[in-house]
Amino acid sequence: IAKDEGGRCFRFFQPMMTSKMTRRIQLDQELRQAMTDCAQLMLFYQPKVDLRDGRICGVEALLRWKHPQQGMISPAEFIPIAEDSGLIVELGDWVMVRALEQLAQWQQQGMAVDVAINVSVKQLLRSNISERIQTLAQQLGVASQHVQLEITENNIMDNMSRIMPQLQSLTQQGFTLAIDDFGTGHSSLSRLRDLPMKVLKIDKSFVANALRDQKDVQLVEAIIEIGHILNRTIIAEGIETAEQMALLQQLGCEEGQGYLFARPMAAEQLEPLLRQGTIDIRHEAMA
Ligand code: C2E
Ligand code: MG
Ligand code: MG
Ligand code: MG
Protein backbone atom coordinates (compact mmCIF):
# COMPACT_ATOMS: atom_id res chain seq x y z
CA ILE A 1 0.00 0.00 0.00
CA ALA A 2 2.73 2.39 0.98
CA LYS A 3 4.49 1.93 -2.38
CA ASP A 4 1.31 2.57 -4.38
CA GLU A 5 0.89 5.82 -2.53
CA GLY A 6 4.24 7.07 -3.74
CA GLY A 7 6.01 6.89 -0.43
CA ARG A 8 3.44 8.63 1.71
CA CYS A 9 3.52 5.60 3.91
CA PHE A 10 2.99 7.43 7.19
CA ARG A 11 -0.76 7.42 6.59
CA PHE A 12 -0.96 3.71 5.96
CA PHE A 13 1.65 2.23 8.22
CA GLN A 14 -0.43 2.53 11.35
CA PRO A 15 -3.63 0.87 10.07
CA MET A 16 -1.61 -1.95 8.51
CA MET A 17 0.16 -2.70 11.75
CA THR A 18 -3.15 -2.63 13.53
CA SER A 19 -4.82 -5.07 11.20
CA LYS A 20 -1.91 -7.47 11.56
CA MET A 21 -2.18 -7.23 15.31
CA THR A 22 -5.93 -7.63 15.17
CA ARG A 23 -5.50 -10.82 13.18
CA ARG A 24 -3.01 -12.15 15.70
CA ILE A 25 -5.29 -11.42 18.63
CA GLN A 26 -8.26 -12.91 16.85
CA LEU A 27 -6.40 -16.05 15.78
CA ASP A 28 -5.16 -16.52 19.32
CA GLN A 29 -8.71 -16.40 20.67
CA GLU A 30 -9.99 -18.70 17.96
CA LEU A 31 -7.16 -21.12 18.55
CA ARG A 32 -8.09 -21.23 22.22
CA GLN A 33 -11.64 -22.20 21.19
CA ALA A 34 -10.36 -24.66 18.61
CA MET A 35 -8.71 -26.68 21.37
CA THR A 36 -12.15 -27.74 22.58
CA ASP A 37 -13.44 -28.48 19.07
CA CYS A 38 -12.12 -31.83 17.84
CA ALA A 39 -13.01 -31.02 14.24
CA GLN A 40 -10.58 -28.09 13.98
CA LEU A 41 -7.26 -29.25 15.38
CA MET A 42 -5.53 -32.47 14.47
CA LEU A 43 -2.13 -34.02 14.26
CA PHE A 44 -0.52 -35.10 11.03
CA TYR A 45 2.45 -37.45 11.04
CA GLN A 46 5.46 -37.49 8.74
CA PRO A 47 7.78 -40.53 8.57
CA LYS A 48 11.48 -40.36 9.32
CA VAL A 49 13.43 -42.77 7.19
CA ASP A 50 16.74 -44.53 7.85
CA LEU A 51 18.82 -43.42 4.84
CA ARG A 52 20.81 -46.66 4.90
CA ASP A 53 17.92 -49.08 4.35
CA GLY A 54 14.64 -47.18 4.04
CA ARG A 55 13.29 -48.41 7.35
CA ILE A 56 10.72 -46.07 8.88
CA CYS A 57 12.34 -45.28 12.20
CA GLY A 58 9.82 -42.83 13.48
CA VAL A 59 7.20 -40.20 12.74
CA GLU A 60 7.02 -36.51 13.61
CA ALA A 61 3.72 -35.13 14.88
CA LEU A 62 2.82 -31.85 13.16
CA LEU A 63 -0.14 -29.79 14.25
CA ARG A 64 -2.83 -28.86 11.72
CA TRP A 65 -5.56 -26.26 12.18
CA LYS A 66 -8.60 -26.17 9.96
CA HIS A 67 -10.25 -22.86 10.72
CA PRO A 68 -14.04 -22.98 10.20
CA GLN A 69 -14.08 -19.91 7.90
CA GLN A 70 -10.49 -19.56 6.69
CA GLY A 71 -9.58 -23.17 6.03
CA MET A 72 -6.11 -24.50 6.76
CA ILE A 73 -3.83 -22.11 8.64
CA SER A 74 -0.13 -22.94 8.71
CA PRO A 75 1.60 -23.74 12.00
CA ALA A 76 4.31 -21.39 10.78
CA GLU A 77 1.70 -18.65 11.37
CA PHE A 78 -0.22 -19.83 14.43
CA ILE A 79 2.56 -21.43 16.52
CA PRO A 80 4.47 -18.12 16.92
CA ILE A 81 1.20 -16.43 17.91
CA ALA A 82 0.54 -19.11 20.53
CA GLU A 83 4.12 -18.76 21.75
CA ASP A 84 3.72 -14.99 22.20
CA SER A 85 0.45 -15.25 24.10
CA GLY A 86 1.51 -18.22 26.21
CA LEU A 87 -1.29 -20.38 24.80
CA ILE A 88 1.43 -22.72 23.53
CA VAL A 89 1.70 -24.22 27.03
CA GLU A 90 -1.87 -25.59 26.84
CA LEU A 91 -1.70 -26.24 23.13
CA GLY A 92 1.57 -28.11 23.51
CA ASP A 93 0.02 -30.20 26.25
CA TRP A 94 -2.89 -31.05 23.92
CA VAL A 95 -0.36 -32.14 21.28
CA MET A 96 1.54 -34.27 23.78
CA VAL A 97 -1.62 -36.05 24.94
CA ARG A 98 -2.82 -36.76 21.37
CA ALA A 99 0.57 -37.90 20.11
CA LEU A 100 1.11 -40.27 23.04
CA GLU A 101 -2.43 -41.66 22.69
CA GLN A 102 -1.73 -42.31 19.03
CA LEU A 103 1.59 -43.97 19.83
CA ALA A 104 -0.12 -46.21 22.39
CA GLN A 105 -2.75 -47.17 19.81
CA TRP A 106 -0.15 -47.99 17.15
CA GLN A 107 1.80 -50.10 19.61
CA GLN A 108 -1.33 -52.01 20.60
CA GLN A 109 -1.90 -52.71 16.91
CA GLY A 110 1.62 -54.05 16.56
CA MET A 111 3.15 -51.14 14.67
CA ALA A 112 6.62 -50.42 15.99
CA VAL A 113 7.36 -46.74 15.62
CA ASP A 114 8.79 -43.85 17.58
CA VAL A 115 6.98 -40.54 17.79
CA ALA A 116 8.65 -37.12 17.79
CA ILE A 117 6.80 -34.19 19.32
CA ASN A 118 7.69 -30.53 18.79
CA VAL A 119 8.07 -28.74 22.08
CA SER A 120 8.29 -25.01 22.57
CA VAL A 121 10.75 -23.56 25.04
CA LYS A 122 7.83 -21.79 26.74
CA GLN A 123 6.54 -25.24 27.70
CA LEU A 124 9.89 -25.99 29.30
CA LEU A 125 9.98 -22.66 31.11
CA ARG A 126 6.38 -22.49 32.28
CA SER A 127 5.32 -26.04 32.95
CA ASN A 128 6.85 -29.07 34.54
CA ILE A 129 6.97 -30.90 31.26
CA SER A 130 9.27 -33.67 32.42
CA GLU A 131 6.88 -34.68 35.19
CA ARG A 132 3.83 -34.25 32.97
CA ILE A 133 5.09 -36.35 30.08
CA GLN A 134 6.29 -39.10 32.37
CA THR A 135 2.86 -39.29 33.99
CA LEU A 136 1.16 -39.37 30.58
CA ALA A 137 3.49 -42.03 29.24
CA GLN A 138 2.90 -44.19 32.31
CA GLN A 139 -0.88 -43.78 32.11
CA LEU A 140 -0.89 -44.74 28.45
CA GLY A 141 1.65 -47.51 28.82
CA VAL A 142 4.21 -46.18 26.35
CA ALA A 143 7.94 -46.42 27.00
CA SER A 144 9.92 -43.17 27.03
CA GLN A 145 12.41 -44.81 24.62
CA HIS A 146 9.82 -44.42 21.87
CA VAL A 147 9.32 -40.69 22.40
CA GLN A 148 11.48 -37.90 20.98
CA LEU A 149 11.10 -34.23 21.82
CA GLU A 150 12.21 -31.66 19.23
CA ILE A 151 13.19 -28.16 20.32
CA THR A 152 14.36 -25.48 17.91
CA GLU A 153 17.96 -24.41 18.15
CA ASN A 154 17.45 -20.67 18.68
CA ASN A 155 15.07 -21.16 21.55
CA ILE A 156 17.42 -23.55 23.31
CA MET A 157 20.43 -21.30 23.13
CA ASP A 158 18.60 -18.22 24.42
CA ASN A 159 17.42 -20.07 27.52
CA MET A 160 20.02 -22.72 28.00
CA SER A 161 20.74 -22.41 31.71
CA ARG A 162 17.07 -22.09 32.65
CA ILE A 163 15.93 -25.15 30.72
CA MET A 164 18.92 -27.36 31.45
CA PRO A 165 17.38 -29.03 34.56
CA GLN A 166 14.26 -30.03 32.57
CA LEU A 167 16.36 -31.29 29.66
CA GLN A 168 18.46 -33.39 31.99
CA SER A 169 15.47 -34.80 33.80
CA LEU A 170 13.80 -35.72 30.49
CA THR A 171 16.97 -37.48 29.34
CA GLN A 172 17.28 -39.34 32.63
CA GLN A 173 13.74 -40.62 32.16
CA GLY A 174 14.73 -42.03 28.79
CA PHE A 175 13.15 -39.51 26.43
CA THR A 176 15.29 -38.62 23.41
CA LEU A 177 15.90 -34.94 22.77
CA ALA A 178 16.52 -33.41 19.34
CA ILE A 179 17.69 -29.97 18.24
CA ASP A 180 15.32 -28.85 15.48
CA ASP A 181 16.23 -26.51 12.61
CA PHE A 182 19.89 -27.05 13.42
CA GLY A 183 22.26 -24.65 11.68
CA THR A 184 19.89 -21.68 11.66
CA GLY A 185 20.55 -20.67 15.25
CA HIS A 186 23.63 -19.68 17.15
CA SER A 187 24.97 -22.70 18.99
CA SER A 188 28.54 -22.53 20.06
CA LEU A 189 30.39 -25.81 19.88
CA SER A 190 30.95 -25.93 23.61
CA ARG A 191 27.26 -25.43 24.33
CA LEU A 192 26.39 -28.03 21.75
CA ARG A 193 28.71 -30.48 23.46
CA ASP A 194 27.11 -29.78 26.85
CA LEU A 195 23.51 -30.17 25.70
CA PRO A 196 21.90 -33.56 26.34
CA MET A 197 20.45 -33.68 22.81
CA LYS A 198 21.08 -37.01 21.10
CA VAL A 199 19.74 -35.92 17.72
CA LEU A 200 20.50 -32.99 15.40
CA LYS A 201 17.98 -32.14 12.71
CA ILE A 202 19.66 -30.25 9.88
CA ASP A 203 17.37 -27.44 8.77
CA LYS A 204 15.70 -27.87 5.41
CA SER A 205 17.20 -24.65 4.06
CA PHE A 206 20.63 -26.35 3.96
CA VAL A 207 19.20 -29.39 2.22
CA ALA A 208 17.47 -27.19 -0.35
CA ASN A 209 20.65 -25.25 -1.11
CA ALA A 210 23.11 -28.13 -0.98
CA LEU A 211 22.83 -28.98 -4.67
CA ARG A 212 22.85 -25.38 -5.84
CA ASP A 213 25.92 -24.23 -4.04
CA GLN A 214 29.19 -26.05 -3.35
CA LYS A 215 29.66 -24.01 -0.16
CA ASP A 216 26.42 -25.41 1.20
CA VAL A 217 27.54 -28.96 0.46
CA GLN A 218 30.64 -28.31 2.53
CA LEU A 219 28.53 -26.76 5.28
CA VAL A 220 26.27 -29.79 5.46
CA GLU A 221 29.32 -32.02 5.43
CA ALA A 222 30.83 -30.05 8.32
CA ILE A 223 27.59 -30.18 10.33
CA ILE A 224 27.44 -33.95 9.92
CA GLU A 225 31.10 -34.34 10.90
CA ILE A 226 30.73 -32.21 14.01
CA GLY A 227 27.60 -34.10 14.95
CA HIS A 228 29.42 -37.38 14.61
CA ILE A 229 32.40 -36.21 16.64
CA LEU A 230 29.92 -35.36 19.39
CA ASN A 231 28.28 -38.76 18.96
CA ARG A 232 24.92 -37.38 17.78
CA THR A 233 22.50 -38.87 15.29
CA ILE A 234 21.86 -36.62 12.27
CA ILE A 235 18.51 -36.21 10.55
CA ALA A 236 18.12 -34.11 7.42
CA GLU A 237 14.72 -32.48 6.99
CA GLY A 238 13.10 -31.28 3.77
CA ILE A 239 14.51 -33.92 1.39
CA GLU A 240 12.54 -33.42 -1.82
CA THR A 241 14.67 -35.02 -4.54
CA ALA A 242 16.57 -38.27 -5.10
CA GLU A 243 19.72 -36.20 -5.67
CA GLN A 244 19.45 -34.60 -2.26
CA MET A 245 18.94 -38.03 -0.73
CA ALA A 246 21.99 -39.45 -2.53
CA LEU A 247 24.17 -36.58 -1.36
CA LEU A 248 23.09 -36.97 2.26
CA GLN A 249 23.64 -40.73 2.13
CA GLN A 250 27.10 -40.13 0.75
CA LEU A 251 27.87 -37.67 3.55
CA GLY A 252 26.89 -40.25 6.17
CA CYS A 253 23.66 -38.68 7.35
CA GLU A 254 21.70 -41.38 9.22
CA GLU A 255 18.10 -40.34 8.76
CA GLY A 256 15.96 -38.25 6.46
CA GLN A 257 12.55 -36.72 6.28
CA GLY A 258 10.84 -35.00 3.40
CA TYR A 259 8.28 -34.98 0.62
CA LEU A 260 10.44 -37.43 -1.37
CA PHE A 261 9.55 -40.15 1.12
CA ALA A 262 6.17 -39.01 2.39
CA ARG A 263 4.25 -35.86 3.21
CA PRO A 264 2.81 -35.28 6.66
CA MET A 265 -0.54 -37.13 6.77
CA ALA A 266 -3.40 -38.20 8.98
CA ALA A 267 -2.78 -41.23 11.19
CA GLU A 268 -5.13 -43.57 9.26
CA GLN A 269 -3.46 -42.66 5.98
CA LEU A 270 -0.06 -43.45 7.40
CA GLU A 271 -0.95 -46.88 8.76
CA PRO A 272 -0.36 -48.91 5.58
CA LEU A 273 3.16 -47.45 5.45
CA LEU A 274 3.76 -48.22 9.11
CA ARG A 275 2.63 -51.81 8.62
CA GLN A 276 4.97 -52.10 5.68
CA GLY A 277 7.75 -50.67 7.85
CA THR A 278 9.99 -49.45 5.03
CA ILE A 279 10.00 -47.12 2.04
CA ASP A 280 11.83 -48.21 -1.11
CA ILE A 281 14.68 -45.71 -1.24
CA ARG A 282 16.74 -47.24 -4.04
CA HIS A 283 17.75 -44.39 -6.32
CA GLU A 284 15.84 -45.92 -9.27
CA ALA A 285 12.69 -46.19 -7.17
CA MET A 286 12.84 -42.55 -6.21
CA ALA A 287 14.01 -40.92 -9.40
P1 C2E B 1 9.54 -28.32 11.98
O2 C2E B 1 9.36 -28.96 13.29
O3 C2E B 1 10.92 -28.00 11.56
O4 C2E B 1 8.80 -29.27 10.95
C5 C2E B 1 9.20 -29.46 9.63
C6 C2E B 1 8.34 -28.68 8.67
O7 C2E B 1 8.80 -28.96 7.33
C8 C2E B 1 6.86 -29.08 8.68
O9 C2E B 1 6.12 -27.91 8.37
C10 C2E B 1 6.79 -30.07 7.52
O11 C2E B 1 5.48 -30.19 6.99
C12 C2E B 1 7.72 -29.43 6.55
N13 C2E B 1 8.28 -30.36 5.57
C14 C2E B 1 8.44 -31.70 5.67
N15 C2E B 1 9.02 -32.22 4.57
C16 C2E B 1 9.26 -31.18 3.73
C17 C2E B 1 9.85 -31.07 2.42
O18 C2E B 1 10.28 -32.03 1.80
N19 C2E B 1 9.92 -29.82 1.89
C20 C2E B 1 9.45 -28.71 2.55
N21 C2E B 1 9.56 -27.53 1.95
N22 C2E B 1 8.89 -28.79 3.79
C23 C2E B 1 8.80 -30.01 4.37
P24 C2E B 1 4.78 -27.55 9.14
O25 C2E B 1 4.02 -28.79 9.42
O26 C2E B 1 4.14 -26.45 8.38
O27 C2E B 1 5.31 -26.99 10.52
C28 C2E B 1 6.07 -25.82 10.60
C29 C2E B 1 6.68 -25.64 11.95
O30 C2E B 1 5.64 -25.40 12.92
C31 C2E B 1 7.41 -26.87 12.47
O32 C2E B 1 8.71 -26.93 11.92
C33 C2E B 1 7.41 -26.60 13.96
O34 C2E B 1 8.44 -25.70 14.30
C35 C2E B 1 6.08 -25.91 14.16
N36 C2E B 1 5.10 -26.89 14.68
C37 C2E B 1 4.28 -27.74 14.01
N38 C2E B 1 3.55 -28.50 14.87
C39 C2E B 1 3.94 -28.10 16.13
C40 C2E B 1 3.55 -28.49 17.46
O41 C2E B 1 2.74 -29.40 17.69
N42 C2E B 1 4.17 -27.82 18.49
C43 C2E B 1 5.10 -26.85 18.29
N44 C2E B 1 5.65 -26.24 19.35
N45 C2E B 1 5.49 -26.47 17.06
C46 C2E B 1 4.91 -27.09 15.99
MG1 MG C 1 10.21 -30.53 14.23
MG1 MG D 1 12.76 -28.64 11.68
MG1 MG E 1 11.69 -26.12 10.52
Q: What is the pLDDT of residues 5-35, one digit of tens each?
A: 444 545 555 666 688 889 999 999 999 999 9
Distance 237 CA to ligand 4 centre (A): 8
Nearest to 122 by CA among 160, 148, 84, 157: 84
pTM for this one? 0.93
264 C-beta closer than 6 A to ligand 1: yes
pLDDT tens track for 117-163: 999 999 999 999 999 999 999 999 999 999 999 999 988 988 999 99
User: Which residues have CB under 8 Å from 108's CB, separation 6+?
Assistant: none
Report ipTM (2 d.p.). Answer: 0.98
d(CA 57, CA 283): 19
Of ligand 1's listed atoms, the one at least distance from the Cα of 123 is 44
Mark the residues whose beta carbon lies below 5 A from ion ligand 4: 181
Q: What is the CB-side half-sphere exposure of residue 136 using CA atoms within 13 A?
A: 21
